[in-house]
């Protein structure tokens, strides 16, 4: 018995072979009713896709590279999983790449380490326009997170508004001496998250105390949060709350505070950023900011597929929101018991 062909599927579904091909390639302009009829016909005739042949015919591999700086940090692990599942819904497989520094991120974007994919999704850690230089980007790239890159589409999270909301939340609970643990050149936290913190202090007429700005050696490890908060305690500077640039640092800071006899939130409130699953299960559960991961992933995948399907417009920027997720770690001290 001969193997079912594309033409057999087309005949059963009552459409052209081109329409069947469009459905199997995951192209978005096919009507949903037609797509459903084609997929039903595929099952009925027992047709299976010849991946190698399809790649030769279409010039595509059906694979996308998802590039992250690490997966030991819960945020990047969770985002990578969301991306892999979302791409699979469009019939695309995923190659997961680890890029430990900005040079490795540049190589992935330029195709040096991603030669066999139709597109690249980059979750950056250090890539900048200066690092990318004049390199030619050979295939569609969408960046999820980080700052704006003028060479390709970017999805930017609501870092500033998220940190502003969290700072305002802490001020509303009566905290006035809010320490900030993050990273930045020159020995003090900087960037969009710091900007949100500063905006909220300024709006409430509170002067910035630079002694409360603490940098960790690496903002992606729990040990950095531990070391940073212990260093703050050793200075003797008074504080009643600690905001961390992400959840990983907040988990480390929680251990540092408790190991020095401080209760959270009775003595010190503590918060993170990213709303990873981990912080729901600490003791106490940690308040955090959700950067709308589902919205970010959906926008990233949509723009990448549009690029793969031929969209050639100017680089786009999509800005997603952020919302506060208050938990026990930032409850008012008097109500914590």
User: Whole-angstrom Cα distance, residue 254 to residue 224?
Assistant: 11
Together in a domain, 103 and 17 = no
Structural domain ending residue among the three candidates 33, 58, 83: 58
Residue 255 forms part of a structural domain: yes
Residue 53 forms part of a structural domain: yes
Distance between first and last Cα of the chain: 76
Q: b or e along 43-76 (b: 16 or more beta carbons within 10 Å of the residue's beta carbon)?
A: eebebeeeeeebeeeeebbbbbbbbbbeeebbbb
Smallest CA-to-CA distance from 121 within 92, 101, 89 is with 92
Specify the CATH number for the domain of residue 190: 3.40.50.2300
Residue 317 forms part of a structural domain: yes
Together in a domain, 132 and 183 = no
pLDDT value of position 335? 64
User: Which residues are 153's β-sheet partners?
Assistant: 142
Band of residue 26 on the pLDDT scale cut at 50, 70, 90: low
pLDDT value of position 56? 42
pLDDT value of position 33? 87
Asked if 218 and 248 count as a contact pair (C-beta separation under 8 A), the reply is no
User: Whole-angstrom Cα distance, residue 76 to residue 164?
Assistant: 23
Together in a domain, 53 and 78 = no
Specify the CATH number for the domain of residue 35: 1.10.260.40
Together in a domain, 134 and 224 = no
Asked if 308 and 285 count as a contact pair (C-beta separation under 8 A), the reply is no
Together in a domain, 109 and 237 = no
Three-state secondary structure of 252-284? HHHHHHHHCCCCCCCCCEEECCCCCHHHHCCCC
Range of the domain at 299: 63-158+292-323
Percent of the chain with pLDDT over 70: 91
**Dihedral angle sign, alpha carbons of residues 215, 216, 217, 220:** negative
Together in a domain, 113 and 210 = no
User: Whole-angstrom Cα distance, residue 207 to residue 43?
Assistant: 67
pTM score, two decimals? 0.77
Give me the number of domains the chain comprises.
3
Of residues 53 and 99, which shows the higher confidence score?
Answer: 99
Of residues 47 and 92, which shows the higher confidence score?
Answer: 92
Residues 78-100 have a mean pLDDT of 93
Together in a domain, 183 and 234 = yes
User: Which residue carries 């700005």 as its tokens?
Assistant: 213
Which of 11-20, 252-261, 266-275 shows the lowest mean pLDDT across its residues? 11-20
104-139, pLDDT tens digit by residue? 999 999 988 988 899 999 999 888 888 888 888 889
Together in a domain, 319 and 196 = no
pLDDT value of position 72? 85
Together in a domain, 48 and 68 = no
Together in a domain, 317 and 229 = no
Residues 140-150 have a mean pLDDT of 92
pLDDT value of position 255? 97
pLDDT value of position 52? 43
pLDDT value of position 38? 85
Residue 1 forms part of a structural domain: no
Together in a domain, 187 and 272 = yes
191-220, pLDDT tens digit by residue? 889 999 999 999 999 999 999 999 877 767
């Amino acid at each position: 018995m001969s193997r079912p062909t594309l033409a057999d599927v087309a005949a059963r579904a009552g459409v052209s072979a081109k329409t069947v091909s469009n459905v199997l390639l995951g192209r978005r302009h096919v009507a949903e009713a037609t797509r459903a009829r084609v997929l039903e016909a595929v099952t009925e005739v027992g047709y299976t896709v010849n991946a190698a042949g399809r790649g030769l015919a279409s010039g595509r591999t059906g694979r996308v590279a998802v590039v992250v700086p690490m997966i030991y940090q819960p945020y990047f692990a969770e985002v990578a999983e969301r991306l892999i599942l979302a791409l699979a819904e469009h019939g695309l497989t995923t190659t997961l790449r680890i890029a430990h520094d900005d040079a490795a991120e540049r190589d992935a974007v330029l195709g040096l380490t991603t030669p066999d994919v139709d597109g690249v999704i980059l979750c950056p850690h250090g890539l900048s326009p200066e690092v990318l230089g004049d390199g030619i980007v050979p295939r569609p790239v969408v960046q999820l997170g980080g700052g704006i890159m003028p060479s390709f589409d970017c999805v930017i999270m609501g870092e500033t508004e998220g940190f502003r909301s969290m700072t305002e939340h802490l001020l509303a609970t009566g905290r006035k001496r809010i320490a900030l643990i993050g990273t930045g050149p020159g020995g003090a936290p900087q960037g969009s998250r710091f900007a949100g913190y500063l905006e909220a202090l300024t709006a409430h007429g509170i002067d910035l105390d630079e002694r409360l700005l603490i940098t960790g050696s690496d903002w992606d490890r729990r040990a950095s949060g531990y070391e940073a908060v212990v260093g703050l305690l050793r200075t003797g500077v008074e504080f009643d709350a600690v905001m961390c640039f992400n959840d990983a640092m907040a988990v480390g800071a929680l251990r540092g505070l408790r190991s020095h006899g401080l209760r959270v939130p009775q003595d010190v409130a503590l918060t993170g950023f990213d709303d990873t699953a981990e912080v729901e299960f600490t003791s106490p559960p940690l308040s955090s900011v959700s950067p709308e991961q589902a919205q970010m992933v959906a926008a990233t995948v949509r723009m990448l597929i549009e690029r793969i399907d031929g969209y050639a417009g100017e680089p786009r920027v999509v800005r997603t929101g952020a919302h506060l997720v208050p938990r026990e770690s930032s409850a008012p001290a008097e109500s914590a018991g």
